[in-house]
């Protein structure tokens, strides 16, 4: 019971200095189950090739920040789980490796202009909160994920939006 209480404190959007994020991944490429089964449930969030998303990771994501893990694509895109930032932004080495699918030939002299962070899987939500469900909720209308044309793989989430999604994950799904 104490562990559940501690987890509720970790995931509730009230921590003074904590920021909240959303990280998108195609379930066919890297799913929540893949993430959960990594050693120590920790991986680096690499391969981001958008400057705004890179800037978020490089300049704004801090150790201890929390992020929703979002499955994009498929029949029912939605938020599946929660991750924690465990290492702040550093150069994305996949950009300089010609054998890596995220290789960026513009990386000069082996120096990456891209950044990544390390994240740890914290918990799977009680149930996924789907994109369709979020679109129906007025309290989420300003969430970047729901804005037309916003396709960033790393997005900010406000504390009120964070709490609303957590609450939705504990409700019965809409009929």
Domain assignment present for 31: yes
**pLDDT for residue 73:** 84
**pLDDT for residue 5:** 43
Q: What is the CATH number of the domain that holds 55?
A: 3.10.590.10
Number of domains in the chain: 1
Domain assignment present for 4: no
List, for the chain, all residue ranges whose pLDDT scores fall below the cut of 70: 1-15
**pLDDT for residue 13:** 52
Domain assignment present for 10: no
**pLDDT for residue 110:** 76
Q: pLDDT, tens digit, for every residue of 123-152?
A: 999 999 999 999 999 999 999 999 998 889
Residue 119: its H or E element: strand 115-130
Buried b (16+ CB within 10 A) or exposed e, 95-129: bbeeeeebebeebeeeebbbbbbbbbbbebbeebb
Domain assignment present for 117: yes
Domain holding 107, by residue range, is: 19-165
Q: Sort 170 into a burial class: Cβ within 10 Å, 0-12 / 13-18 / 19+.
A: exposed
**pLDDT for residue 15:** 64
**pLDDT for residue 4:** 43
């Amino acid at each position: 019971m104490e562990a559940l209480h501690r987890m509720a404190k970790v995931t509730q959007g009230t921590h003074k200095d904590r920021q909240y994020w959303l990280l998108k991944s195609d379930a066919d490429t890297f799913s929540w189950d893949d993430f959960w089964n990594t050693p120590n449930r920790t991986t680096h969030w690499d391969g981001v090739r958008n400057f705004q998303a890179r800037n978020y990771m490089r300049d704004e994501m801090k150790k201890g920040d929390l992020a929703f893990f979002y499955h994009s694509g498929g029949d029912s895109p939605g938020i599946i789980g929660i991750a924690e930032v465990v290492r702040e932004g550093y150069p994305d080495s996949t950009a300089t490796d010609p054998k890596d699918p995220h290789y960026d030939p513009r990386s000069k002299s082996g120096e990456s202009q891209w950044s990544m962070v390390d994240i740890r899987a914290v918990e799977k939500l009680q149930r996924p909160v789907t994109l369709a469900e979020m679109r129906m909720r007025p309290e989420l209308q300003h969430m970047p994920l729901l804005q037309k044309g916003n396709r960033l793989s790393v997005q900010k989430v406000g504390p009120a939006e964070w709490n609303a999604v957590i609450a939705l994950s504990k409700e019965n799904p809409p009929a």
